């Protein structure tokens, strides 16, 4: 078995059991973290570009990071939810080819794992303020990071194991499209890693081609063949993913975030952000302050 399967690491952000009503109605939700739901009562829906899924009792739902979707409850819905970040050394998501909502029947083992995880991690919900305007994202995010660091060693392993077990169910579905890094040339993989590590820089295609000693046109064609994206589009996507993460987890100004992600000015940053996310940075921050 290839060892690179285990390069992915998932860290817990939130876990809770909540009862929702018609106020749970949000459009164009897109978050820098994963959402996993287990529904035990009621009914709702999640829709994305590929269609609409009914939220119903007895099923698990996985929304990968940076997956745009709509959340809706017309009357009543109760759910267990887990939100978690993904960390990988090359910045390539396990679900890079699967940015859509997935649904599977829950087993008794799944339900037991989720309930045990909730019991092991008390106080990890997100209902900290009745007023989203005063919800201090950065302070709370740092608190959850500290909680992860303070966990006893056996609970760290148990949290990671539970997340891996739950995620593994979605990897075995017929619609899952695994990434195939072994078929990607080393120079392209090296470039992808370099981009991820230098998102705060003003990266140019000429610079990237020169790094791997290739002609710029040849490099661009190879990058498109093996990633499905032109280099500049890929750079912008990764920069905006980082920007989404910073907007959701810090109180930095949009200008600070623009500079942190290698944009020379705010208008250019805002234009690219809107192109990729279909929301302005302000709309995205407002949405993240409201969605539970």
Domain boundaries, the chain: 3-171, 184-290
Q: Label residue 27 by pLDDT band (50, 70, 90).
A: confident
- Residue 180 is predicted with a pLDDT of 54
- Residue 136 is predicted with a pLDDT of 34
Q: Label residue 173 by pLDDT band (50, 70, 90).
A: confident
Query: Across the beta sheet with 25-29, what order do the strands follow?
Result: 25-29, 69-72, 44-48, 51-55
Distances (CA, A) of 236 to 42, 46, 155: 40, 27, 37
Q: Return d(Cα 271, Cα 281) in angstroms, integer.
A: 9
**What is the CATH number that goes with domain 3-171?**
2.60.120.10
187-212 mean pLDDT = 88
pLDDT exceeds cutoff 70 at 131: no
Q: Label residue 63 by pLDDT band (50, 70, 90).
A: very high
Q: Which residues contact 66 (CB under 8 A, 6 or more apart)?
A: 30, 31, 32, 93, 99, 241, 244
Q: What is residue 62's DSSP assignment?
A: E
17-41 mean pLDDT = 89
Structure tokens at 63: 């929304």
- Residue 210 is predicted with a pLDDT of 94
Range among 150-154, 189-193, 248-252 with highest mean pLDDT value? 150-154
Strand pairing category for 77-87 and 9-20: antiparallel
pLDDT exceeds cutoff 50 at 277: yes
Q: What is residue 75's DSSP assignment?
A: S
129-148 mean pLDDT = 52
- Residue 1 is predicted with a pLDDT of 41
49 vs 170: which has the higher pLDDT: 170
**Helix locations, 100-152, DSSP H:** 108-120, 137-150
Task: Give me the residues paired with residue 52 across strands.
Answer: 47
Contacts by residues 45-54 (CB-CB < 8 Å, ≥ 24 positions apart): 45/70, 45/71, 45/72, 45/73, 46/70, 46/71, 46/72, 46/101, 47/72, 48/100, 48/101, 49/100, 50/100, 50/101, 53/101, 53/103
Q: Which H or E element spans position 267?
A: helix 266-277
Which stretch of 62-66, 88-92, 185-189 has the lowest confidence by average pLDDT? 88-92
196-220 mean pLDDT = 92
Query: Across the beta sheet with 77-87, what order do the strands follow?
Result: 9-20, 77-87, 34-42, 59-63, 102-105
- Residue 139 is predicted with a pLDDT of 54
- Residue 179 is predicted with a pLDDT of 60
**What is the CATH number that goes with domain 184-290?**
1.10.10.60
């Amino acid at each position: 078995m290839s060892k690179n399967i285990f390069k992915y690491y998932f860290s817990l952000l939130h876990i809770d059991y909540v009862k929702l009503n018609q106020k749970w109605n949000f459009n164009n939700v897109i978050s820098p973290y994963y959402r996993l739901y287990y529904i035990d009562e009621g009914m709702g829906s999640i829709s994305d570009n590929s269609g609409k899924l009914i939220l119903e009792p007895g099923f698990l739902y996985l929304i990968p990071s940076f997956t745009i979707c709509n959340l809706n409850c017309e009357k009543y819905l109760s759910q267990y939810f887990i939100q978690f970040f993904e960390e990988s050394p090359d910045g390539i998501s396990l679900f890079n080819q699967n940015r859509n909502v997935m649904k599977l029947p829950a087993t008794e083992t799944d339900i037991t794992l989720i309930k045990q995880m909730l019991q092991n991690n008390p106080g990890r919900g997100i209902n900290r303020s009745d007023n989203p305007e005063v919800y201090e994202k950065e302070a709370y995010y740092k608190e959850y990071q500290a909680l992860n660091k303070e966990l006893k060693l056996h609970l760290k392993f148990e949290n990671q194991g539970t997340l891996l077990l739950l995620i593994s169910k979605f990897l075995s579905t017929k619609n899952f499209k695994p990434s195939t890094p072994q078929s990607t040339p080393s120079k392209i993989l090296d470039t992808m890693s370099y981009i991820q590590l230098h998102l705060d820089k003003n990266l140019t295609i000429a610079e990237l081609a020169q790094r791997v000693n290739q002609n710029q046109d040849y490099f661009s064609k190879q990058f498109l063949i093996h990633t499905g994206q032109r280099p500049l589009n890929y750079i912008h996507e990764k920069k905006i993913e980082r920007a989404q993460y910073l907007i959701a987890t810090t109180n930095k100004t949009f200008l600070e975030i623009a500079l942190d992600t290698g944009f020379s000015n705010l208008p250019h940053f805002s234009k690219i952000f809107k192109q990729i996310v279909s929301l302005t940075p302000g709309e995205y921050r407002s949405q993240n302050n409201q969605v539970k």
